[in-house]
Amino acid sequence: MKILILGGTGLISTAITTQLLQAGHQVTLFNRGLTKARTAPGAEIVTGDRKQFAAFEAQMRALPAFDCVIDMICFTPEEAESAVRAFSGHAGHVIFCSTVDVYSKPASCYPILEDEPRVGNNDYGRNKILCEDIFFAAGARGAFPITIIRPAMTYGEGGRLLDWKGWNTAIIDRIRKGKPLLVHGDGSAFWVVCHVEDAARAFVNACGNPITFGKSYHVTGEEWLTWNRYYALIAEALQVPTPPLIHIPTDLIARLAPTQAAVLVANFQGSNVFDNRAARQDLDFRYTISWLEGAGRAIGWLDAQGQVDNSDDDPIDDQIIAAWQQVESTITLSPR
């Protein structure tokens, strides 16, 4: 098939491109040309800026029609509307990379199904909801068949890991040094992670697959890890002891560090577990790379690139932990 990827150099895009080329597909990547591709040669690269809507749409219409377009870099309704104009009647199939952040947290039931009400706890999730609606509407009126794929935390070689502040690499250095780890709540909320190789396979198997038309799919991890276990497995991958886990109420973390804790409040404090049965059935999705193995691979790549940040340069964790321990030491029950 002739497949266009809008993006192509990001974490999931790189794995998708690699697998498509290995399967013998003809792949074109559209991006700004600012990030060097990490895939083997073989994909054609077209440069441009999708935010320049008129120019982007004209550029896409000037290209031969594609059997499938995978949109990995659509984040706003304006970008979705532009993509619809660009590919209406000009693509055999469109796959939109959305996110599980479209759901409200906490969810109405667990594991979360694809028909869970979409509310979104942050602007990123709410904008993805609007994009989904635009693509679904285009598919309903016959512009092109549409498939929505919703990953959760997707990681791998070429990317970073998560802690309570979001994506970073200082958490690796912190664990290596044995520093106490700030863990929100009691660390028992569930979290899921999925290596890019597993996630990418679902995108590849969706391409041109008529059973997926008009549907949405979860492509998420299947180890339901507590945050305590999540950090312990990073330590195990590093072959060091798990540092002390300091459990601090999320509300307090957010009050002390509102900017850094924004993603924690919107996403991490509630359990995130998803039902992947639809993707397993229709996309042959399989969770094959454990967090222990995948974390070790991702850390190895970061070490080789010299991209692990010094945790000493970011003191906010130590400051919050010290403040909490000071408060804890003064708490007593008054005698009746």
Beta bridge partners of 207: none
Question: Is the Cβ–Cβ distance between 113 and 275 less than 8 Å?
Answer: yes
pLDDT digits (tens, 9 = 90+) for 237-281: 999 999 999 999 999 999 999 999 999 999 999 899 999 999 999
* Residues in the chain, overall count: 336
pLDDT digits (tens, 9 = 90+) for 80-137: 999 999 999 999 999 999 999 999 888 999 999 999 999 998 999 999 999 999 999 9
What angle do helix axes 291-305 and 227-238 make, rounded to 10 degrees?
Answer: 50
Render 238-291 in DSSP notation, one character per residue.
HTSPPPPEEEE-HHHHHHH-TTTTHHIIIIITS---B--HHHHHHS-----S-H
* Stretch 21-33: mean pLDDT: 93
332 band by pLDDT with thresholds 50, 70 and 90: confident
CB count in 10 Å sphere of residue 22: 12
Q: Is the pLDDT at 37 greater than 70, yes or no?
A: no
* Stretch 328-336: mean pLDDT: 82
Question: Is the Cβ–Cβ distance between 124 and 99 less than 8 Å?
Answer: yes
pLDDT digits (tens, 9 = 90+) for 191-248: 999 999 999 999 999 999 999 999 999 999 999 999 999 999 999 999 999 999 999 9
Q: Is the pLDDT at 292 greater than 70, yes or no?
A: yes
**Between the CA of residue 306 and those of 131, 155, 169, 302, what are the distances in Å?**
37, 18, 11, 6
Question: Is the Cβ–Cβ distance between 225 and 161 less than 8 Å?
Answer: no
**DSSP 3-state of 133:** helix
* Stretch 279-286: mean pLDDT: 98
Q: Which domains does the chain have, with CATH numbers?
A: 2-155+194-219 (3.40.50.720)
**Between the CA of residue 313 and those of 24, 173, 214, 231, 254, what are the distances in Å?**
46, 11, 47, 20, 21
pLDDT digits (tens, 9 = 90+) for 63-93: 999 999 999 999 999 999 999 999 999 999 9
Query: pTM, whole model, 2 decimals?
Result: 0.94
Q: Is the pLDDT at 40 greater than 70, yes or no?
A: no
Among 184, 189, 203, residue whose Cα is nearest residue 110: 189
Backbone angles phi, psi at 146, to 5 degrees: -125, 140
**Between the CA of residue 302 and those of 217, 234, 291, what are the distances in Å?**
30, 14, 16
Rounded-to-integer distance, Cα 289 and Cα 293, Å: 6
Q: What is the pLDDT of residue 164?
A: 97
Chain-centroid distance, C-alpha 270: 16
Residue 67, CA atoms < 13 Å, CB-side half-sphere: 12
34 band by pLDDT with thresholds 50, 70 and 90: confident
* Stretch 273-302: mean pLDDT: 98
299 band by pLDDT with thresholds 50, 70 and 90: very high
